[in-house]
Amino acid sequence: MPLVNTIELFKKAYEGGYAIGAFNCNNMEIVQAITEAAKECNSPVILQVSAGARKYAKACYLKHMVEAAVEDTGLPIVLHLDHGADFEICKDCIDGGFTSVMIDASSKSFEENIALTRKVVEYAHDTSKHPYVTVEAELGTLAGIEDDVKVEHGAESYTRPEDVEEFVKRTGCDSLAIAIGTSHGAYKFKPQQCTRDPKTGVLLPPPLRFDILEEVSKRLPGFPIVLHGSSSVNQEYVKIINAHGGKLVDAVGVPEEQLRKAASMAVCKINIDSDLRLALTAGIREHFDEHPDHFDPRQYIGDGRKYVKDIVKHKIQTVLGSENKL
Ligand code: G3H
Ligand code: 13P
Ligand code: ZN
């Protein structure tokens, strides 16, 4: 099974009322943890690579590691560029064998976003040079940090449903990321935006804007929608990190039930990075605390990898609903 684009996977996900997990990867252990979990759950999966990941690991290493995962698992895996900031990075990934790219021109004006997205779509869909590569675009902005772009809480802008038909028609994009209240990172909401659970002290965030999602999907029937910034910041891992020397105060994510609801609607791709970082860190911190004499990376990174695999399985089974959907 070679790498695949998102067309068939999204069609089945839309019709089946589930979403496909798009997990960020930066190294071999993360690639292995994600794909072994997907294999054991018999689930389709998207591996995505950011500009930062390309800089850290080098694009060719990531590409070959993902190809190794395809060989190892036999899964239909999508290799996707996350948050492509310009035409050049999208072209580079398309030429290098990625099967899907995101052009993120969401911080530009509506017309500039359309023009840049259209340019990427024309190149990605031109099958005279390479297989058909699917293109994700974005309308609306999320709070949080995406590489060099930092959007403060309060400065984010929800997607305007009245824009989506024109945008999709004029760009020809294959899927659309929208802003309905999710945000990047492990601190998605300020404490003053949340209420606090009186028993546990854990922050309870405000609900996502399902009204916007509903309106968007009414205007784009059958069209796959993407949610970024969709880590849930599972408190189990935050506790492990803090119990072993970490200091994550008031880290909060999107509640899992809300993501499950989105996945049963038009959302076909849910992006998760921070939860994997937390799981990896929890495993490594716990390992060092329990075995201060260890210095073999296979021992401590191996424990981190185990926790990443656990969280990916949990997402597939209880949040995304993509188990046994191959
Ligand atoms: O959306 C951002 C992803 O979490 C990637 O983060 O740019 O630090 O690799 P990164
Ligand atoms: P999180 O920070 O919520 O994991 O979001 C990841 C993401 O959107 C990657 O594009
Ligand atoms: Zn994102």
Q: Helix, strand or coil for residue 291?
A: coil
Contact 98, 131 (CB under 8 A): no
Binding pocket residue ranges, ligand 2, CB within 6 Å: 24, 82-83, 184-185, 228-231, 271-275
Q: Which of 306, 232, 238 is nearest to 37 (CA)?
A: 306
Task: Give the CA distances from residue 298 to residues 28, 29, 32, 305, 306, in Å, rounded to whole numbers and listed in that order.
Answer: 12, 10, 13, 10, 12
Angstrom distance (rounded) from CA 31 to CA 37 = 10
Torsion, CA 102, CA 108, CA 112, CA 115, rounded to 10: 0
Angstrom distance (rounded) from CA 117 to CA 173 = 7
Angstrom distance (rounded) from CA 138 to CA 174 = 11
Angstrom distance (rounded) from CA 185 to CA 29 = 21
Ligand 1, pocket-test mutation among 26, 50, 142, most atoms within 8 A of CB: 50
Q: Read off the amino acid at residue 17.
A: G
- 72 in active site: no
Atom number of ligand 2 nearest to Cα 185: 2
Half-sphere exposure of 22 (CA within 13 A, CB side): 31
Closest ligand to the CA of 54: 1
- Which residue in the block uniquely carries the two structure tokens 């950011």? 50
pLDDT at 202: 82
The pTM (predicted TM-score) of the whole model is 0.96
Binding pocket residue ranges, ligand 1, CB within 6 Å: 24, 50, 52-53, 82-83, 146-147, 184, 273
Terminal-to-terminal C-alpha distance of the chain: 12
Q: Of 82, 104, 275, 303, which residue is the catalytic one?
A: 82
Consecutive sets of 10 residues in the chain, 326 residues long: mean pLDDT of each?
Answer: 94 98 98 98 98 96 97 97 98 97 96 98 96 98 64 77 98 98 93 88 90 98 98 97 97 96 98 98 98 98 98 98 98
pLDDT at 148: 54
Atom number of ligand 2 nearest to Cα 230: 3
- Which residue in the block uniquely carries the two structure tokens 């190794």? 68
pLDDT at 2: 87
Ligand 1, pocket-test mutation among 48, 82, 149, 271, most atoms within 8 A of CB: 82
Of all protein residues, the one whose alpha carbon is nearest to atom 2 of ligand 1 is 146
88 alpha carbon – ligand 1 mean position (Å): 19
Q: Which residues contact 243 (CB under 8 A, 6 or more apart)?
A: none
DSSP letter at 206 equals: P
Whether the CA torsion 256, 257, 258, 262 is positive or negative: it is positive
Angstrom distance (rounded) from CA 40 to CA 279 = 19
Contact 270, 19 (CB under 8 A): yes
pLDDT at 142: 87
pLDDT at 300: 98
Tokens of 47: 């591996």
292 alpha carbon – ligand 2 mean position (Å): 32
